[in-house]
Amino acid sequence: MNTGHLFRLVEDEAIEVIDLKLCNLFGGYHHISLPAKKLNDDLFKRGIGVDSSSIPGFKTAGVSDMSLLPDPSTSVIDPFGERRTLTLLGSLIDAETGEPFRLDPRYIVQRAEDYMIETGIADRSQWGPEFEFYIFEAVHINNRINEAYYNIESAEAGWHNQDFSDDDDSSLIPRKGGYHVTPPRDRYFNLRDRMSAVIEQYGIPVKYHHHEVGGSGQSEIEIELLPALQACDAVMAVKYIAKNLARQAGYSVTFMPKPLYNEAGSGMHFHQHLFNGDTPLFYDGTGYYGLSQSALYYIGGLLKHGPALLAVTNPSTNSYRRLLPGFEAPVKAVFGPGNRAAAVRIPKYANKPMEKRIEFRPPDATCNPYLAVAAQLMAGIDGIINEIDPSEHGFGPYDSDITGSSLEKADEIPSLPSSLDEAIEALQEDHDFLMKGDVFTADFFDNWFSKLKNDIRMVHSRPHPYEMEMYFNV
């Protein structure tokens, strides 16, 4: 949509508020709201002033004044404002020079795509994130000097509080027993369906939605594949929509990777493939499960750089409570057809040339989607450029869950990090592939490592509630 169409939309739809949104370095949303009369050509040329040093992750030496430049192609009517509101995503530019801000996540993923085009490998990539999340009746969290606890209530679960129960135990879902259950056991079908309808209103095509494995309100919404920047914008929109609709209905939604002990975790798997014009680069009818040699090299890049990637795609201490054996979560750097315990899965049902793709399964929703997509793309490109054969590096293929393999055999299979500390160490040792084409910069790594290491310190410095049970009586 160009600005002329946008101005007409504002008039035709009686828009009263213009809401500009941006994403910080760590995936958080921010917004600034303007009267609709402030929408003019100058806003799209110069933007509106922002203090970048007050936005998490954007602090750089001697630079704070930025301008937020709205992207007219992202405009959509926001259903959550009391007044008629048009929302647009924006990118940050230097207020003086007009140059793009190097730490702006939207710019980083655009640079990754530009680098891909510069290599001549492909001219576009397509991405399909999956959204797994939990819906709870109530959540209480407290962390103080003398107490630390969280309490979660779920009407679907067997451990639910009577205050949140309809006394119908026949419809309770057992642990890890929620996959594709139907109403009345699927108590959140209508809420999830409303989420899907609003997502479609945002112009984001929904593939399907269903109850996920977690028997305590776990849901999934999957969207169709989109170009890289649009897919990342869609991640931010879907989380925004889900949280707002849940709040309106009196529920809490969390995309946290592991909110419940010994229950299924929530990931954000990324389906991905490359194209040159209309030619799909991941398809070869004679190749392994229909994959081209380029696709296999791309997989090799993802898995070789997998330990480092996880510091970007799984950047929370909680991420590694999900990546455990027995929960369909990857713990080994392997690939295989239809193998949901593999880090890279080859969907068997995607067997047509335009559908042929791979799925990277480790990521979760604590990631910044723009950075996660950019990092995966850079790893895959590096695999193609350097012809990294995944089989030669011991990454498979494996067509079954290898977590139950004998210890001797399992030790021979490359592992993914089991903690955020390990992932940070891997990224510190292996990040040159991300800096090619000036996609990720030294400022990024300084700010990124500082934040992640501080998160680790904050968790490690606190007594764990379970430690009280284990050690209080020593």
Catalytic residue among 359, 364, 382, 431: 359
Catalytic residue among 212, 284, 364, 382: 212
Is 361 annotated in the active site? yes
Total residues belonging to the chain: 474
Is 113 annotated in the active site? no
Is 359 annotated in the active site? yes
Residue type, 394: G
Helices 189-201 and 228-249: crossing angle in degrees, nearest 10, is 140
Is 130 annotated in the active site? yes
Is 124 annotated in the active site? no
How many other CB atoms are there within 10 angstroms of residue 215's CB atom? 24
What SS3 state is found at 67?
strand
Catalytic residue among 137, 153, 220, 284: 220
**Pairwise CA distance, residues 446 & 458, whole Å:** 18
Catalytic residue among 78, 104, 113, 132: 132
Is 224 annotated in the active site? no
Nearest to residue 439, comparing CAs of 124, 123, 125, 110? Answer: 110
Which residues fall within 8 angstroms of residue 89, CB to CB, at 6 or more apart?
Answer: 20, 21, 22, 23, 70, 71, 74, 106, 233, 236
**Pairwise CA distance, residues 207 & 270, whole Å:** 14
Is 392 annotated in the active site? no
Is 13 annotated in the active site? no
Catalytic residue among 8, 340, 393, 460: 340
Catalytic residue among 104, 130, 137, 382: 130
Catalytic residue among 111, 192, 269, 322: 269
Is 51 annotated in the active site? yes
**Pairwise CA distance, residues 233 & 244, whole Å:** 17
Catalytic residue among 42, 51, 193, 387: 51
Residue 409, CA distances (Å) to 395, 403, 414 in order: 13, 10, 11
Q: List residues bridging with 307 in a β-sheet.
A: none
Tokens of 39: 């929408």
How many other CB atoms are there within 10 angstroms of residue 401's CB atom? 16
- The catalytic residue positions are 51, 130, 132, 212, 220, 269, 340, 359, 361
